[in-house]
């Protein structure tokens, strides 16, 4: 049996010179897409979550009963005790908020980033142009990440105006590391599966549970946990950022490294996998 061969020949002088898409200029459209489709929902969810947390915190601090007597005694005045209470509550809230915000930001930011274009057929016109899917989606991943961090900084400024200043470089690094961990994984899952957001929630849920159950296990199979996102490291990173103490760099690098590796895996899949589903 002969091997099928299909060849289309274009005579040499006629072939248009090699060119490539203007992804730098196209990034402005990707920023716009992020703002409308991903940034706005992320902001709304973050503001709702923030409103609930901050209003509860302020209500507690400003309660008519006033701060407990031992705190007033310790800090010397009611106002000083209130400021201390607010600061302590704020640190706990910020640590919790960072974790939720990084996960939701990645979930919304990466939802369907590749799979929607494949499912809905948008890839056909996009990738008949002189652009590689890995370059196009790599740029989108970068744009989404930068926009997310800008959003995080804006929220931190807002929080600072209402409660107390929290915007520091370590805080942004902690948010970036958490986001990269989840988003890198989300990107790879979107390149693999059409059920990307569901897969991301499932993997994150499983990782959280399995790290808690077997994180300290001496069983040789526990090494397989390293395939899962290192979520057991998030708590100390977020807490350090919230308490404005030195970041645990090893954990930061684990989180960021895991996300970066997952992202590269996603790019490799895009490079080698066919875009059409059938």
Partner 1 sequence: MFGLAGPNGAGKSTLIALLLGFLGPTAGTVRIHGLAPRRFVEHHGVGYLSELVNIPPTWRVHQALRRYALLAGVPAGQLHSRVARSIAMLGLEEHRTKRVRQLSKGNLQRLGLAQALLHDESVIVLDEPTHGLDPVWTQRFRDIVQELRRPERIILIASHNLDELARLADRVAILDHGRLQRIVDMRGADPSTRKRAAYRLAVARGAREVLAVFPDARLIARDEYELADRTLEEVNAGVAELLRRGTLLTALHPAHSALETQFREAVAGSAMAQEAS
Phi and psi at 195, nearest 5°, equal -105, 55
| Contact set for partner 1, span 232-261 (CB under 8 A) | none
Judged by phi (left if over 0) then psi (alpha if -120 to 50, else beta), residue 135 lies in: alpha
Nearer to partner 1, 136 or 211 (CB): 136
Binding of partner 1 by 59 (CB under 8 A): no
Give the nearest distance from C-beta 112 to partner 1 in angstroms.
12
Output the smallest distance, CB 179 to partner 1, in A: 25
Residues 110-149 that bind partner 1 (CB under 8 A): 120-132, 136
Contact predicate 103/182, CB 8 Å: yes
Q: Is 3 helix (H, G, I), strand (E, B) or coil?
A: coil
174 and 237 Cβ atoms separated by less than 8 Å: yes
Give the residue with the Cβ less far from partner 1, 22 or 223. Answer: 22
Among 14, 69, 161, 246, binds partner 1 (CB under 8 A): 14
Grouping H, G, I as helix, E, B as strand and the rest as coil, residue 66 is coil
Q: In whole angstroms, how close is the CB of 144 to partner 1 at the nearest point?
A: 16
Biggest alpha carbon–alpha carbon distance for the chain: 93
Give kind and range of the element (H or E) at residue 246. Answer: none
Give the H or E element holding residue 276: none
> Would you say 113 or 262 has its CB closer to partner 1?
113
CB of 123 to partner 1, least distance (A): 7
Taking the complex as a whole, the smallest distance from the CB of residue 9 to partner 1 amounts, in Å, to 6
Query: Which tokens hold the place of 171?
Result: 């805080």
Contacts with partner 1 by CB under 8 A lie at 3-11, 13-16, 18-23, 25-26, 29, 36, 120-132, 136, 274-276, 278
């Amino acid at each position: 049996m002969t091997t099928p061969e299909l060849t289309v020949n274009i005579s040499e002088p006629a072939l248009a010179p090699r060119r490539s898409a203007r992804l730098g200029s196209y990034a402005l459209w990707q920023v716009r897409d992020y703002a409308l489709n991903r940034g706005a929902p992320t902001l709304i969810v973050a503001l709702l979550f923030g409103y609930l947390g901050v209003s509860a915190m302020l209500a507690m601090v400003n309660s008519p009963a006033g701060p407990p007597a031992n705190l007033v005694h310790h800090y010397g005045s009611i106002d000083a005790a209130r400021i201390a209470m607010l600061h302590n509550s704020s640190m706990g809230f910020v640590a919790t908020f960072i974790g939720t915000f990084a996960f939701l930001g990645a979930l919304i930011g990466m939802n369907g980033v590749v799979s929607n274009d494949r499912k809905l057929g948008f890839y056909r016109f996009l990738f008949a142009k002189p652009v590689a899917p890995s370059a196009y989606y790599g740029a989108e991943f970068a744009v989404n990440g930068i926009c997310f961090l800008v959003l995080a900084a804006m929220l931190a400024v807002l929080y600072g105006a209402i409660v107390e200043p929290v915007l520091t470089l370590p805080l942004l690094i902690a948010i970036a590391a958490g986001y990269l961990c989840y988003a890198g994984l989300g990107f790879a899952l979107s390149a693999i599966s059409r059920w990307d957001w569901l897969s991301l929630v499932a993997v994150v849920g499983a990782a959280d549970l399995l790290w808690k159950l077997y994180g300290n296990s001496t069983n040789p199979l526990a090494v397989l946990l390293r395939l899962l996102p290192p979520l057991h490291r998030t708590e100390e990173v977020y807490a350090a950022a919230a308490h404005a103490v030195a970041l645990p760099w090893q954990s930061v690098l684990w989180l960021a490294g895991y996300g970066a590796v997952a992202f590269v895996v996603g790019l490799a899949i895009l490079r080698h996998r066919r875009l059409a589903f059938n």
